[in-house]
Amino acid sequence: MKTTSLGAIALLVSLAQIPAGTQVRTPTTATDVTNAEILAILKMAQTDQQLKVVDIGKYNVGVGVLHRGPTHATGTTVNGLSHNQITEVYYVISGSGTLVTGGTMATPKSEPADGTTVKVLVGPSMSGAFQNGQSRKIGPGDVVIIPPGVPHGFSDIDDHIDYLSIRMDPDHVLPSGYVNAAIK
């Protein structure tokens, strides 16, 4: 698992790089997110926990781990989020579910600006029920890239799904230097 998780993080971050433009700051060190840290946070994760947010210069990169328990949507609508500025790259660690992305959020509601979702996890976001998205079953080893503004949520999880979320933050809305207190 350690090799897979760390290799996945390196791959996802390199794939999601934003092209270099005006140089803001050149990082001089690498940041590790160890398998032990991922597992420690996953043990306590009831939903979404940010592990670290790293300032890469032109943008921030956040690494979170998420756990979702059983859920079964009824009808054609799914509850979910869309992030105004953050791209998320999901890497499924264990479990499986039906992820729905895209479509239309009928009555989007802004997440509270002073809440953890906005301040630590994913920046300004909208939540609500959406419909007409693309459904796909995802499981261990799968990767999904979700651009800003794309509604996303799970319609069906039989048992659980645990996944890493690499969060690309070109506007520096996430807290640079953040480290989850459980792994400090």
**CATH number belonging to the domain at 2-17+32-183, selected among 3.10.129.10, 2.60.120.10, 3.40.190.10, 1.10.3720.10:** 2.60.120.10
* pLDDT value at residue 4: 54
* pLDDT value at residue 20: 47
Question: Closest by alpha carbon to 63, among 173, 169, 154?
Answer: 169
* pLDDT value at residue 63: 98
The tokens 């802004």 sit on which residue?
Answer: 110
Backbone angles phi, psi at 41, to 5 degrees: -70, -40
Could you tell me if 85 and 168 are in contact, meaning their C-beta atoms sit under 8 angstroms apart?
Answer: no
- Give CA torsion, residues 116, 121, 175, 144, to 10 deg: -170
What pTM did the predictor assign? 0.85
Which stretches of the chain drop beneath a pLDDT of 50?
A: 10-11, 14-15, 18, 20-22
